Structure 1
Amino acid sequence: MVNTILSATSFGTSAKVIQVEATFIRGLPNFNITGLAHSSIQESKQRVQAALVNIGVTLPPQKININLSPVDIPKSGGHFDLPIALALQKTKTQDIFAFGELGLDGSVKYTDSIYPLLLDVALSHKDAKVIVPLCAKELLSPIPHLQFYFVAHLQEAINILNNIESMPHTADSKAHHFGFASLEVQGEQYFYNQDFDFDFSDVQGQDIAKRAALIAAAGFHNFIMEGSPGSGKSMIAKRLLYILPPSSLREMMETMKYQALNKQSTSYTPLRAFRNPHQSASKSSILGSATQFEAKPGEVALAHNGILFFDELPHFKKDILESLREPLENNKLSISRVHSKIEYDTNFMFVAALNPCPCGNLLSKNKECRCQEREISTYRGRLSEPFLDRIDLFVQMNEYEQDKNSPQGLDSKKMQELVFQAFKMQKQRGQKVFNGKLDEREIETYCELDSHSLALLNQASERFSLSYRSVNKVKKVARTIADIAQEEQIQKSHILEALSYRRI
């Protein structure tokens, strides 16, 4: 007879469901664990045996085989103690998950690996029954779509296992009530932030840049700002976070999962991720790393569903910038190593700021540029054409000029309202992704042009030698501009404005 309990292990940034199988066979007493188990799991043999003895459970004098299936996936983590102990019981069970480390006295303890695993289980196995440590109830209970059974001791878990149908579970009561403002679109709930710690009303002038920032936020378009030091590039980038489209429950859970994998404190928030690595960051810290038993997400993964901001863009290492071409184009990043191949979702909005030259004064009306032509050429040459071709919006900032009597323009609250209007239009068209992340087939469906707009785009393509990718990006930006204007059809004016943001 084979007893089975479900658990999970980390595989890259996702969780793989593992079947913990146990059987007793005739032979000399022995305890074996098979299935590419890390030493942290092999050590569980002693913990499980001691815990069972201390609650009065005696294992038969037979050969015990524990198999972790599928066997070709490396597995690690002390949370396998509880499922192994439960699998050694005589009850045959296949549809219950268990996570927890065992103390020698039978107490069930929490480990940091449990939380991100449960987030993935909640996404892939809705309404699953899960036995978890009682000490982590406050942290785990808000996770939606799971039926939790909280236990403090191994004996309690065994009692639940034997009477699962009659045992009460923690109701999914807190899952959809976070106290955040929300809106409903096409039957799905989306949450958003109402506090603006950084407001666009603080940015004086720069109307073109603020308009481009609005378009970038509404469609999740990649966005580069070039301008003299102090012109407001970083100010705009930091304020973009507060006007982004609202977050779905799934997106909030994905953000929390990456925070947990990166050993950060986790909390539910409608604010999307904002990652701002320094120019000195290593390639592995930006892209992530992987070993046979562990994957550590980099900045591109931690920025998933949010913003990745590179300040002083040309000062980042060239191999890092070139490595961004794949995640910017495909919204995924694959890291291949000898023992593993990990794929991260990288559906982020790339925002960058740069000076026009090394000294920063090339575009200044008041300061003299001290750079030589060779220095300027080398500085700009760090950004390759294939990399720049993946940018949707490029804006040259005006030099800062203080004028207290000038109108401040749109504030963040009004810009957020415009973004939400565009967001609703995208969802009502049936789009699964934002305009900036549409693929070629989706562009043909959602970015259809009339004959006049198409002729204008073709003329611009020939005149400025636009690549096929650039033409598609013009279409996507024009689609977002039309959404902000609440226009169903893309007009010539939308194409013209989209073309004005191309780096020609």
Structure 2
Amino acid sequence: MKMVACATYEGIEAKVVYVESTLTKGLPSFSVVGMVSASINEAKERVKSALLSNEFIFPPKRITINLAPSDVKKEGSQFDLSMALLIALDYIEEDLSEWFVFGELGLDGVVKENLQLYPLLLSLANQKVIKKAIVPFESLDKLSNIPNIDFYGVKNLKEAIDLLKNSTNITPNIIYKKIEYPNISVNNELYYFDEEYVEDFLDVKGQEIAKRAALISAAGFHNLLLEGSPGCGKSMIAQRLRYILPPLSSDEILDIAKLDALEAKEPLFRPLRSYRAPHHTSTMGSIFGGGSYTAKIGEVGLAHRGVLFFDELPHFSKSVLESLREPLQDNKIRISRVNSKIEYPSDFLFVSAMNPCPCGNLLHKDKECRCSELEIQRYKNRLSEPFLDRIDLCVVMQDVSLDDRGTISSKEMHKKVIDVHKIVKQRGQRGFNAKLSDAEVDKFCVLDEEATAVLQRAIMQFSLSFRAIKKVQKVSRTIADLESSVMIQKSHVLEALSYRRRG
């Protein structure tokens, strides 16, 4: 029996699959077993044609290919090359089990690229279960961004066979590609950022309070709710937030590229966080993930390490808004189906926008609101208190004026966010201020006497919940970091309290 390794998806992570083969005497046949999908069963014809097209005689034996473990459903065309190699090299005595082999075969034996190959290999690299792999030659440039794996690129089946015949005398095709973007070094770790600001905060005229809140939100990854009349700049601010978010480590850049590949997009390996903005008519499955047999990733998972923007927040269904409470609190989402149960990370910055009333004119100084008190109350009641309690910053947008001017650029704001990121990492925090645990809040969010007294009065006056108290402390910590203050002072707590939602 011969064996090589490959992989398939289990949720959004890779699961190692061992491809085993036996060629025995008997009536000629070719079968693939091990809970395989139709795409793998179809591979039999591709493998047979590829072998015959490359001057190999298809053995007149009983050929059985087993994909283990047998209790995991396998799918994808990446198994083609491994099956063909096991049949072609059945006669050699070398142990091939340490090799990972990936590639789709054409009928002429050409090894083709598979878009799902990158996230599979990245997941295997993160699990530290792979050292060397045979991959399509055209995938090498993309795969060179993954460290600690020796990649051997092949253009066709014959090259792959020759490679394994002389495996002791070969060298990998590529060297790990370094990330060439501006970076900062903190505690011997490099963090990368992009200085291309496609959307600039200079375009946002006026709205100084909202821009200040956006800066605090970006620096600490605090959830943000913008409320204001139509056309006042809510969506403009949300779209520009992704360009001023904290820098990324190399592992985080690879994770974002993995999510791009899962969505069938070409990974860019750029230190720019993702931005997802589903429409309010989106279904539960598209936002949280799902599927009848396997649980597919949704918008919440694709926004991991980036921004999830809900425009027209009250128009989202009640079930979607209430289901969002779990990932907002735990930074992960669980999808349960009869045949699969998976959990994936969803550590995102939640940004939302809403009008003050159904017609949008309630706060406008010139236009008259057409809504009744009952309509306004119903509109606001679509957002429950437990949901709103998970929002760190709530801002009522100002009226637009012809005299309004852009006062601060994205570059200036980004520099302040990067400075806060340095402070946070040098302080010994693993995550952002908004993601601190209760124990970490007590350790890092230290208030002076005046600040403590202000917070105590606010707790009594506004009946703040335990969660709300912690959020005020976290926002105060970010405001203090923006001013390079070690201790949280009275002014920092007062500003944090000013962003609490009222009414």
Q: TM-score, normalised by structure 1?
A: 0.93
User: In the alignment, what sits opposite 1:427?
Assistant: 425
User: In the alignment, what sits opposite 2:10?
Assistant: 11
**TM-aligned CA distance change 1:284 to 1:390, over 3 Å:** same
User: In the alignment, what sits opposite 1:381?
Assistant: 381
Asked if structure 2 preserves the Cα contact closer than 8 Å seen for 1:314 and 1:383, the reply is: yes
Determine helix, strand or coil for the equivalent of 1:165: helix
* TM-superposed deviation, 1:160: 1.8
* TM-superposed deviation, 1:387: 0.8
* TM-superposed deviation, 1:104: 3.3
Q: Mean Cα displacement is larger for which, 236-245 or 436-445?
A: 436-445
User: In the alignment, what sits opposite 1:68?
Assistant: 67
AA in 2 matched with 1:151: V
Tell me whether 1:115 sits opposite 2:118 in the alignment: yes
Asked if structure 2 preserves the Cα contact closer than 8 Å seen for 1:255 and 1:273, the reply is: yes
| Matches of 2:454 and 2:207, distance apart in 1 | 28
* TM-superposed deviation, 1:60: 5.7
AA in 2 matched with 1:418: K
Tell me whether 1:358 sits opposite 2:361 in the alignment: no
User: In the alignment, what sits opposite 2:436?
Assistant: 438
User: In the alignment, what sits opposite 1:92?
Assistant: 95
1:236-288 Cα deviation digits (max 9, x unpaired):
11121111111222222222222222222332222211111222222222122
Tell me whether 1:298 sits opposite 2:301 in the alignment: no
User: In the alignment, what sits opposite 1:162?
Assistant: 165
**TM-aligned CA distance change 1:403 to 1:48, over 3 Å:** same
**TM-aligned CA distance change 1:150 to 1:397, over 3 Å:** same
The CA RMSD measured in Å over matched residues stands at 2.2
1:207-234 Cα deviation digits (max 9, x unpaired):
2111111000001110001112222211
* TM-superposed deviation, 1:147: 1.5
Determine helix, strand or coil for the equivalent of 1:79: coil
AA in 2 matched with 1:147: D
Asked if structure 2 preserves the Cα contact closer than 8 Å seen for 1:126 and 1:146, the reply is: no
Determine helix, strand or coil for the equivalent of 1:494: helix
AA in 1 matched with 2:179: H
Determine helix, strand or coil for the equivalent of 1:131: strand
Tell me whether 1:132 sits opposite 2:135 in the alignment: yes
Asked if structure 2 preserves the Cα contact closer than 8 Å seen for 1:291 and 1:340, the reply is: no
| Matches of 1:412 and 1:245, distance apart in 2 | 13
User: In the alignment, what sits opposite 1:172?
Assistant: 175
AA in 2 matched with 1:162: K
**TM-aligned CA distance change 1:441 to 1:26, over 3 Å:** farther
**TM-aligned CA distance change 1:158 to 1:441, over 3 Å:** farther
Tell me whether 1:271 sits opposite 2:269 in the alignment: no
1:425-451 Cα deviation digits (max 9, x unpaired):
111222222111222233233223345
1:385-426 Cα deviation digits (max 9, x unpaired):
11101101111111112215x6x4332111111100111111
* TM-superposed deviation, 1:127: 6.9
User: In the alignment, what sits opposite 2:320?
Assistant: 320
User: In the alignment, what sits opposite 1:484?
Assistant: 482
Q: Mean Cα displacement is larger for which, 298-307 or 415-424?
A: 298-307
User: In the alignment, what sits opposite 2:198?
Assistant: 197
* TM-superposed deviation, 1:62: 5.0
Asked if structure 1 preserves the Cα contact closer than 8 Å seen for 2:217 and 2:223, the reply is: yes
Tell me whether 1:240 sits opposite 2:241 in the alignment: yes
Q: Mean Cα displacement is larger for which, 4-13 or 48-57?
A: 48-57
AA in 2 matched with 1:375: E
**TM-aligned CA distance change 1:27 to 1:304, over 3 Å:** same
AA in 1 matched with 2:140: K
User: In the alignment, what sits opposite 2:341?
Assistant: 341
AA in 1 matched with 2:261: A
Q: Percent identity?
A: 50
AA in 2 matched with 1:158: I
Q: In the comparison of the two structures, how many residue pairs are matched?
A: 498
Q: Mean Cα displacement is larger for which, 326-335 or 64-73?
A: 64-73
| Matches of 2:285 and 2:45, distance apart in 1 | 37
| Aligned mate of 1:147, from 150, 157, 165 | 150
| Matches of 2:186 and 2:327, distance apart in 1 | 28
Structure 1: unaligned runs, 5 residues or longer? none
Asked if structure 2 preserves the Cα contact closer than 8 Å seen for 1:258 and 1:297, the reply is: no
Asked if structure 2 preserves the Cα contact closer than 8 Å seen for 1:144 and 1:176, the reply is: no
* TM-superposed deviation, 1:29: 4.6
Q: Mean Cα displacement is larger for which, 134-143 or 23-32?
A: 23-32
Asked if structure 2 preserves the Cα contact closer than 8 Å seen for 1:126 and 1:145, the reply is: no
Asked if structure 1 preserves the Cα contact closer than 8 Å seen for 2:295 and 2:337, the reply is: no
* TM-superposed deviation, 1:205: 2.1
| Matches of 1:54 and 1:265, distance apart in 2 | 31
Asked if structure 1 preserves the Cα contact closer than 8 Å seen for 2:295 and 2:341, the reply is: no
**TM-aligned CA distance change 1:31 to 1:204, over 3 Å:** same
